[in-house]
């Protein structure tokens, strides 16, 4: 099976540019309702993923929870607890599932490292469950 089957395209996602501020990251996460979102540069290349926890711990440890300070802090300076590695659009299903076991979503890039979307662990599990129930009904 091709991973494109599971792809949520960039145009349907929330993401941050790497030149955004921490405050903009907080606001984007709040509006999106997600706990983590991808970061890309202005060329469209995947840079990483930022989580609510990454922002919270930076705000606590560096700025004594002063949200006003977050207005001038570049999102790139926020220490990320975990590096979320993307997969190539040409990757196989084994690679996708392997990454999804440890991440809520897997960023997908093309051969020039341009971010094209994500695959969520939920979508993979729903597909597998659907296949499992089909087999067990027969």
pLDDT above 90: residue 64: no
Fold of 3-137: CBS-domain (3.10.580)
Q: What SS3 class is residue 35?
A: coil
At 137, list the tokens: 């009904």
Residue that wins the pLDDT comparison between 62 and 10: 10
When pLDDT is averaged across residues 128-133 and rounded to a whole number, the result is 82
Q: Provide the CA 71 distance to its chain's centre, in angstroms.
A: 22
Average pLDDT along the chain: 91
pLDDT above 80: residue 137: no
When pLDDT is averaged across residues 80-86 and rounded to a whole number, the result is 90
């Amino acid at each position: 099976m091709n991973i494109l089957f599971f792809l949520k395209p960039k145009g349907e996602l929330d993401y941050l540019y790497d030149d955004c501020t921490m405050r903009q990251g907080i606001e984007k996460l709040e509006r999106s309702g997600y706990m983590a979102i991808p970061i890309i540069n202005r060329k469209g290349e995947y840079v990483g993923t930022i989580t609510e926890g990454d922002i919270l711990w930076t705000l606590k440890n560096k700025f004594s929870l002063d949200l006003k300070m977050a207005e001038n802090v570049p999102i790139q300076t926020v220490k990320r607890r975990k590096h979320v590695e993307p997969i190539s659009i040409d990757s196989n299903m084994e690679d996708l599932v392997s990454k999804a076991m440890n991440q809520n979503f897997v960023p997908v890039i093309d051969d020039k490292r341009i971010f094209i979307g994500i695959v969520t662990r939920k979508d993979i599990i729903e597909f597998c469950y659907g296949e499992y129930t089909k087999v067990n009904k027969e």
